[in-house]
Chains A and B, each alone.
Chain A
Amino acid sequence: METLTEPAVIDQMTPIPFKVQSVREELSHTFTLELEPPNGDFSFQPGQFTMLYAFGIGEVPISISSSATRETTLLQTIRRTGAVTHALGTLKSGDYVGIRGPYGRPWPMKEAKGRDLLIIGGGIGLAPLRPAIYHALENRADYERVVVLYGTRTPDDILFETELRRWGDRTDITTLITVDAADRGWYGAVGVVTRLIGRVGFDPLNTTAMVCGPEIMMTVTAERLMEGYAVAPENIYVTMERNMKCGIGVCGHCQFGSKFICTDGAVFSYKEVGHLFDIKGV
Chain B
Amino acid sequence: MSEMYVSGQSGIGRLIQALAERGHRVIGPVVRNKALVYDEINGVEDLPKGWTDLQEPGRYRLEQRGDEKLFGYVVGSASWKQFLNPPETVLWSGTINPEGFMTDPAPEPPKYAFFGVRPCEVAALGVLDKVYATSNGLPSMAGYSAIREQAFIVAVNCVEPGGNCFCVSMDTGPTARGGHDIVITEIAHNGNMRYLIESGTAAGAEVLDGMANLEEPTKSEIEARDYFLTEAAAAMGRTLEVDGLPELLKGNARNPRWDSIADRCLACANCTMVCPTCFCNTVDDNLSLDGTHATRTRKWDSCFTLGFSYMHGRPMREGIGARYRQWITHKLATWVDQFEEMGCVGCGRCITWCPVGIDITQEAAAIRRADLRDTPIGIGGFV
B330 contact set on A, CB distance < 8 A: 255
Count of interface residues, chain B, beta-carbon cutoff 8 Å: 65
Give Cα distance in the complex from A3 to B102, angstroms. 5
B135 contact set on A, CB distance < 8 A: 12, 248-250, 263
- The A interface, classified by DSSP as helix, strand, loop or mixed, is loop
Contact A4 B281 (CB under 8 A): no
Contact B334 A11 (CB under 8 A): no
Contact A257 B382 (CB under 8 A): yes
Given contacts A11-B141, A81-B312, A243-B309, contact A5 B100 (CB under 8 A): yes
A258 contact set on B, CB distance < 8 A: 250, 333-334, 337-338, 382
Residue in A8, A15, A56, A253 whose CB lies within 8 Å of B282? A253
A12 contact set on B, CB distance < 8 A: 135-136, 138-140, 142
B254 contact set on A, CB distance < 8 A: 279
Give Cα distance in the complex from A179 to B35, angstroms. 63
B274 at the interface (CB under 8 A from A): no
Given contacts A56-B286, A81-B312, A258-B337, contact A4 B136 (CB under 8 A): no
Contact B282 A57 (CB under 8 A): no
Residue in A3, A38, A242, A245 whose CB lies within 8 Å of B283? A245
Q: Which residue of A lies closest to B318 (CB)?
A: A281
Given contacts A11-B138, A250-B140, contact A82 B99 (CB under 8 A): no
Q: How far is the CB of B304 from chain A (nearest CB, A)?
A: 12
Q: Which residue of B lies closest to A83 (CB)?
A: B285
Contact B142 A11 (CB under 8 A): yes
Q: What 9 pairs between A and B have smallest CB-CB spacing?
A: A281-B322, A56-B287, A252-B280, A11-B142, A17-B100, A258-B337, A56-B294, A5-B100, A258-B334
List residues of A whose CB falls within 8 A of some B CB: 1-5, 8-15, 17, 19, 38, 55-59, 81-82, 96, 98, 241-243, 245-246, 248-253, 255, 257-258, 260, 263, 275-276, 278-282
List residues of B whose CB falls within 8 A of some A CB: 91-92, 94, 96, 99-106, 131-132, 135-136, 138-143, 250, 253-254, 279-283, 285-288, 291, 293-294, 296, 298, 301, 303, 308-313, 316-319, 321-323, 325-326, 330, 333-334, 337-338, 380-383
